[in-house]
A and B are shown apart, each in its own frame.
Chain A
Amino acid sequence: MIDTTNRRTFLNQATVGIGALAFQRQLFAEGIPDEIKMAGNPKAKRVIFLCMAGGPSHLETLDYKPTLAKMHGQAMPESITKGQPIAQLQGKALKCLGPQWDFIKQGKSGQEISSQLPFIGKMADDIAIIRSMTTKQINHDPAHTFMNSGTQISGRPCMGSWIQYGLGSETKDLPGFVVLTSVGGGQSQPIASRQWHSGFLPSKYQGVHFHSKGDPVLYVGNPKGVGRAGQRQVIDAVNGLNSIRNGLVDDPEIATKISQYEMAFRMQASVPELVDLKGESKETLEMYGAKPGDGSFASNCLLARRLAERGVRFIQLYHRGWDHHGGVKNGVAGTAKLVDRASWALVQDLKQRGMLDDTLVIWGGEFGRTPMSQGGGKNPGRDHHIKGFSLWMAGGGIKGGVTHGATDDFGYNAVEDVVTVHDLHATMLHQLGIDHQKFTYKFQGLDMRLTGVEPGVKVVKNILA
C-alpha cells in the first residue's frame, strides 16, 4: 500500500509509543522499527493462517489418546469435568468417546497423525504440532474473536492488522492483509467481519475479504459500460480536480486521496490478475486439487501462495466446516478430505519455490472438541472444548518434526507445556522479528498489546529451528 495514507487517523490516535516512529518508517524506510524489534534476525516475512473454523476435533486429527479409547463408553471422571465450562453438553451425562480414527506414526520424526490426514502425514517432518493449546472462549464467535485479537471484547484489532501495523506492506498493488473463505464437510458456523477488522488501529490495516463469486474484492469492478480507459479518464480528472484544489488549500488529505485513487486503479487490475489461475500449470492445479473458480479451500490455498508471492503480509483462510456436534467420525473424515491435500500442497509448493523459509504457516481452529460424546447413538459427535486442543505450524523458522506439549490421558486438559492463544501470538510475532511486549498501541489511555496485559506470556521456544 501507499504509505502516506491515514495521516489524520494516525495523528489522532497514535500519539505515543512506537506509533509516530513506525509511521515515519513506513514513509521513509524499510525494515522492522527498532522500538519493537527482537534481538536477532526475523525468520518470517509473512503469515498464512489456515483457520479450521468450527473447531476440529484434536482427538481425530493431531492428538492420539489410547487411554480414551480404553475408556470408551464409560463415564468421564468427575474430578476432571467438575466446575468446567461446557457448551451444548450442559446438564447432560458425560461419557468418554474413544478416538474414532487410527493414528499413524509418520516420517522420520514419527509424529502421530490421524489416518484421515494422509497428506499432512506425509510432511510430518516439516511441521511442528502443538498439542497443548488452550483458549478462553467456548462459543464459536467469541472464540474466533479471541483467537484473532487476544480478547473477547469486540472492536479490538486482529492479528493480521497488528502485523500490518508493525511491519507495513510489501505490495503497492494489493492490500497487505487478505482473507479467503470456503465451506464444506460440516455445518458452517457464521464468521463476522470483525475477525479481520483493524479495531482501534487505523482502518488501512483492515483485512480485505476476497470473494469467490462476483467481484473478488468489493467494488473492484468498473461500472457497467465503462472500460479501463474510461475509468482511467475519470480517475485522471478526479485527480486533476483534487490537484487544483490542493494547490489552493494545501491539504495533505487531498494528496493522500490522489494516491489512493491510483492505488484503487492498480487494484482494479492486480486483483483480477491475482485470482485468475489460468497461468497455473496443470500439475500445480492437480497438486492442490483446485478447480479455478470453485471457491474451494484448495483454490484458496493456491491463491494464498499467489498472494504470498506478491508480497501480501498476512493471508488468512477460513474453512468453515469443522463443527461436528454429531457424527464426528464421518464428519472429520469428510472435512479432512477437503482440506488435507491442499494444506500439504501449499506447504510443499512454498518449499519448492524457496518461500517456506520466510512464510509462517499455521493450521488450526478456534478450539478443540470434548473427549466426551455428544448425542450418543450410532453417530456420536463432540462438543466445543477449550482446555486442550492441537494445531500445527510450518515454515518461517519453525522446527519440523516436533510435537510440543501434551494433554492428559483423556485429551481434556493441556497439562504439559501449555500454550495459550497469547503465547501463540507472541511466537508468531517473534518469528516476524517483533518483541510482543514492546508492541503496543495507545487506546483509551492504555498501552494495548495483541498479547494482552497479563504477565507470563511466552514464546514457544521449543518449536523454533
Chain B
Amino acid sequence: MVVKIACIVLLSMGVAAAVEDAVDFQRDVRPILSDKCFFCHGTDPETREADLRLDTPEGAYENLGGYSAVVPGKVKESELFLRITSNKKKEMMPPPESHKTLSPREIETLKKWIEQGAEYQEHWAYEPIKKADAPAGKEIDHFVTRKWDEAGIQGSKPASREVLLRRLSWDLRGIPPSTQEREEFLNDKSPDAWGSLVDRFLADPKYGERMAVWWLDLVRYADTIGYHSDNEMKVTPYRDYVVNAFNKNKPFTDFTIEQLAGDLLPDATLEQKVASGYNRLLQTTEEGGAQEKEYRAIYAADRVRNISEVWLGSTLGCAQCHDHKYDPFTARDFYSMAAFFSDIRENGIGKRRPNLLVPSPAEESRIAELKKAIEDGQVEKLLKGDPAFRAKISTGMKAWLAEAELGHSVWRPVTFGDFKTPEGTTLKVLDDGTVLEGGKIAATASYLLKVTSPGKVSAIKLDALTHESFPVKNGFSRGNGNFVLTEIEIKKDGKKLKIVSVRADVEQDGFPASAAFDGNQKTGWAVGAHMPEGLKGTRRAAFILEKPIELKGNEALDVTLHYQSQHVSHSIARFALSVTAADHAGLEDPLGPSADVIEAFAASKRTPKQNDLLKNYYLSIAPEIVAQKEKRSSMEDELKKIEGGMRKMLVSEALDQPRMTRILPRGNWMDDSGEAVQPAVPKFLQKEMWKVEGRANRLDLAKWILHEDNPLTARSTMNRVWRLFFGRGLSPNVTDLGGQGEMPTHPRLLDWLASDFRDGGWDLKRMVKKIVSSQTYLQRSEVNSFLREKDSANNLLARQGRWRVEAEFVRDGALEIAGLLNDEKMGGSSVKPYQPAGFWQHLNFPKKTWKASEGGDLYRRSVYTFWCRTFPHPSMVAFDAPSREECTAERPRSNIPQQALAMLNDPIFVEAARVFGTRMAEYQGTVPEKMAWGLTEAFSREGTREELDLLMKVYQSQLKKFESDPDAATAFLSTGKWPLKTSVPAHEAAAWGQVGRVILNAYETTSRF
C-alpha cells in the first residue's frame, strides 16, 4: 500500500511513473514482499512453502542447491526474479491460486532492489526511535515543510480565527465554541491569544471528557458484559478515572502502569485500584452451558488482542493459532503474553461480582466526616474527654435528684375484656391486674386481647413477668422460660395501627424487639434463657405508634400477641399491658425506672450501690445524652446509606497462585498437549529491555511497555494522537504499525514526536499543545485545485483535515447549541438518554427494558451514556460509535441515511431544536437578528444573506402552518422532557423549533474543518 500511495504521489506530482532510482527497502520493498510473499515465505513455519523464507536476508540469500532466491546485485541469477516474471503456471509467483498478482511497477521495484544489493532492514516500527535535529519550538513545521520543499509545493494559508477557534474547541473539548467565547477570542488582540486559548481549553474539564472518548474506544470500555445475556457490569469508576487522568494530565507512564497493574503497586490507592479495572473490561459470558475452559481461552485471547493493539499498535492477537504471518510474533509469544493475566481472580463463566466499593469524592469526604463524628460522639468518650459535657450532665443530675419525687410513671394499666386463646389454653386476670396463662401448654399460640383505657394512646407497653408456678425459676414462659413474641398487632375498629419503633430492656442476639412488628412470623422478640444474666430482672418492651389515637369511653383496642415461632411453647405466661399518652419526645425512657431505681430515689439515705444505680439511670435519661445518641444513630444510618449506595466495580485482584497457561495448538482450547509457558513479552522485542527474575507479572509488563528503548509504545500513541488533530495518522494505519501496516508519510516527524513524548515525561497535554500550536495545524482545510492535483490524499499535510465529528460530539454539540448540555455534573453511574421503546427486546436472561434517566441526566455528555455492547444506543451507532467489543483505534466516518433519520427525528435532536428555537425567539432583536444569532451559535460564524433568507422562508411558512394548526404546534413542542417556556406563543415557538431543526441538521453544525 505504501507503494501505492507513493505511486499516487509520484503520479500526481507529474513525475514519470518510473520507479525511483534509489529503492528504499523499508518504504518500497517490504510492503510488496509482505503483502505478496510472506503468507507462504514469511515468519510462520507452518504455512511456509518450499522451506523458503523471504522475510530475512539469510533466508533470501540461502543456497537452495546451486541457486538462491535472491543474489544481491544479480537479477538474472535470482530465482525470485525469474519466478515473478515467469508466465508458466507452475513456475509463476505468486501462484495463480493465491489470487495475488504483482504489478509491473512492483516487479520493477524488486528488480532494482536486487540490482542495488538486495539490502534488508528491520521493519521500521521495530527499529529504535531516532530523534532528528530540528529547530527548537518549530520541529513539527520543520519536518512538514521539508517534505513540501522536496515536492515543490506550499502548504495552505492559516485558517481564519473563527475557524481556528471552532476547530480547537471540537478537537480539545468535543463541543463547538459559544458565541461569547467567539467574541472574546476575536477581540483578544494579544500576541499569545492562541496560546492562551489552547491553555484555557486544555484546562477545561471537557478536555478529559473528549479525550476519554478516544481512550475508551481503545480499551473497549462498556457497561455490559457483551456476550449472550449482555447483562450490566459495574465499571463506571474506571471511565471516570480516564476522564480525570486526562484532565489532571497524569503522565502516560502512570496511566499505563495503573491500568495494567494498579492493584500490584505497594499500598495501592483507591484510584490505582480503580484503574486496574482495565483488566476486567473484556467481554464475558453468563450463558448457561458455556464451558469454562473454552471461555478462559477466549478471555486470554481477548486480553492479548487488546493490550497489544492499545499499547503496542500490534496485532499480536493474530498469533493465537499460528505464528504471525507478517510480523515476527510467534504463537509462543501470544500465550506468554496471555500468561501475564492468568493471575487475575475471576470466574471463567457465570456472574462476576464487583470487588471494589468506590466512593465519589463527595461520598469519601462525607464518610470520613461521619466516621470521625461517630467515633468522637461516643457518650463514654464525651464523658471522659469533654469537661463541658460532663459538667452539663452533672448539673442536670443534681437538679434531677433535687426533685421531690421521681417523675410518676407515664404508663396507665389497661382494663382487659374478652380473650381469645387456643383450644384448651386459658388466660386469667389476676388481682394485681396482670394476666396469667393456664391450661394446656400450646406449641404455638395467638392471643387476642380486648383492652380499654380511655384517653390518648401513643404507645403500648408489654411487661413479661414471672410466676412461682412456672417450671423454670424466674422464667417468663411455661416452657424453658424464654419466649419469642413473633408479632404484636394492635387494631382499632379492625384497622391496624402502625408501630414505628420499640424500646426493650433486654433483647436476645438475633431476636430484637423490632422483629415483633416486621410482619414476619418467622422472626420475633426473645429475651434469652441462655443469656449470661440469666432470667433475672425485668423484660419490657414499649411499642410506639406512628400516630397517637384517642380512646373514648368504652372504645377498645384489639391487641394480638402471636407466638408462632419454630421454638415451641415460647409464649409469655404472665404479662401486663399499659398505655401512655406521652408524646414521642417524652418517651426517652419509655420503659420508666425499674422498682429498685424508684426505691433508691426515694431513700432518705442511699447506699453507694444505690448512688451508682441512680447515676447509671440518669445517664440513660439525661437529655444531652439521649440527644447525642440520637445524633449518632442518625449519622450511622447516613453512613450505612452512603455505603449501600456507593458505586461498586470490577477491578484486578491477583491470585497467589496464577492459573497455568499452555500454548494451545492451533488455538484449540481442548488440546492440552501444548507446553506450559511463563509470562513474557514477545521474544524479538525483548532485547536488552527484558530482565526479569522469577515469574514476571503485570507490573513488569507495564514497565517493559514504557521502557525507553521500546519503540512501539510512544510511536503508536503519538501516531494516534496525531490523528485526533489531523484526521489521519502519520502512519495511516493507526491500528497496526506492523508489517502489514503502512509506512509513515513523515517517519522523522513521527519519531520526533515519539521521542519528545518519551523524553518529556510522557506528558500528553504538552504534546497536544505542541501539535495545535504548529503552523501545520493552523492551515486551512479546503482542498484547492492545486492540492487536489498534487496531493489528493493529503500525504504531505499541506492542508488540515475536515470531517464530521464523532457520535458523542454530534449529540453534545446539539445540546450545547440548544443550551441544554448538563456539563455541571461529571462522572458517576452511566446515564440513559431517550431510546426507542423495544430496542432491547432481543435481550434476555433477564428481559430488559431501557428506562430513560430523569431530569438533568437526560442532557449529560454522551461519554456518560450507558454503553450496551449488543445494542449500543442506535443514534450513536448511526454516527459510527463502535460496539466496544474489540479495540477500536479508528472509527469509520460514514455518511448514511440513518444519520439523517436520527438527526431529523430522534426526540433528543427534536427537543434540542425546539429549545434552541425558543432561545432564538427570546433573543432580543428583530426576527432576522434572532436568526442571525442562532446561526452564529451553531456555525461559530456570521450567517450570509442567502442563508438567512432561506431560514426566513422556513420560519414564515412554518409560522403560518402552526398558526392554523395549534394542535400540531402543541404536539411538536411536547417532544422531550425539557419544560416548555410559555413566554413565547406556541405557534412561534414551534416555527422557531423548525428553524432550529434546519440549523442542527446542516452539515456544518456537525463538522470540524
Residues of chain A whose beta carbon lies under 8 Å from any beta carbon of chain B: 1, 5-9, 11-13, 15-16, 83, 85-88, 90, 138-142, 152-155, 175, 181, 187-194, 197, 202-204, 206, 208, 211, 213-215, 217-227, 230-231, 233-235, 237-238, 240-242, 244-245, 249-251, 253-254, 256-257, 260-261, 263-265, 267-268, 320, 383-384, 437-438, 440, 442, 444-446
Contact = CB atoms under 8 A, between A and B. Distances in A.
A371 to B, nearest CB: 17
B291 A85 contact: yes
A214 B837 contact: yes
B607 to A, nearest CB: 74
B228 A140 contact: yes
Contact of A264 (B845, B874, B901): B901
Contact of B291 (A90, A188, A234, A237): A90
Given A9-B893, A16-B4, A214-B836, A219 B289 contact: no
B281 to A, nearest CB: 14
B291 A445 contact: no
5 contacts: A154-B886, A204-B894, A220-B905, A225-B970, A241-B999
A225 B895 contact: no
Given A203-B894, A242-B1004, 12 more contacts: A6-B896, A9-B893, A12-B732, A219-B906, A226-B972, A237-B950, A241-B999, A253-B803, A254-B1003, A261-B900, A263-B897, A267-B897
Contact of A219 (B291, B741, B875, B1003): B875
Given A245-B1004, A260-B896, A141 B997 contact: no
B33 interface: no
Contact of A193 (B870, B900, B901, B975): B870
A220 B901 contact: yes
Main secondary structure of the interface of B (DSSP, over half): loop
B883 A233 contact: no
B782 A250 contact: yes
Given A234-B954, A234-B994, A260-B899, A191 B226 contact: no
A237 B733 CA distance: 38
B368 interface: no
Given A7-B895, A90-B289, A263 B900 contact: yes
B56 interface: no
A161 to B, nearest CB: 12
B291 A87 contact: yes
A86 B804 CA distance: 48
A244 B896 contact: no
A211 B883 CA distance: 20
A1 B897 contact: yes
Contacts of A227: 968
* Best-surrounded residue of A142, A223, A253, A438 (most CB of chain B within 10 A): A223
Interface size class of B (residues with CB under 8 A): 35 or more
Contacts of A222: 904-905
Given A139-B285, A250-B783, A87 B290 contact: yes
B904 A234 contact: yes
A253 B1003 contact: yes
A233 B893 contact: no
B731 to A, nearest CB: 12
A224 B34 CA distance: 57
B897 A320 contact: no
Contacts of A251: 802, 1009
A211 B783 contact: no
Contacts of B961: 230
A249 B1009 contact: yes
Interface in B737-756: 738-741
A130 B386 CA distance: 88
A86 to B, nearest CB: 7
Contact of B741 (A1, A217, A445): A445
Contacts of A211: 836, 838
Contacts of B994: 226, 230, 233-234
A88 B292 CA distance: 12
B843 A190 contact: yes
B791 interface: no
Contacts of A83: 670
B898 to A, nearest CB: 7
Interface in B774-813: 781-783, 793, 802-804
Given A139-B289, A218-B901, A250-B783, A9 B733 contact: no
Contact of B228 (A138, A141, A237): A141
Nearest to A137: B294
Contact of A88 (B288, B901, B910): B288
B285 A445 contact: no
B210 to A, nearest CB: 21
B971 A224 contact: yes
Given A181-B842, A233-B954, A445-B738, A194 B870 contact: yes
B894 A202 contact: yes
A191 B895 contact: no
B910 A194 contact: no
A219 B902 contact: yes
B222 to A, nearest CB: 11
B294 A85 contact: yes
A37 to B, nearest CB: 12
Interface in B952-1009: 953-954, 957-958, 961, 967-975, 990, 994, 997-999, 1001-1004, 1007, 1009
A223 B728 CA distance: 37
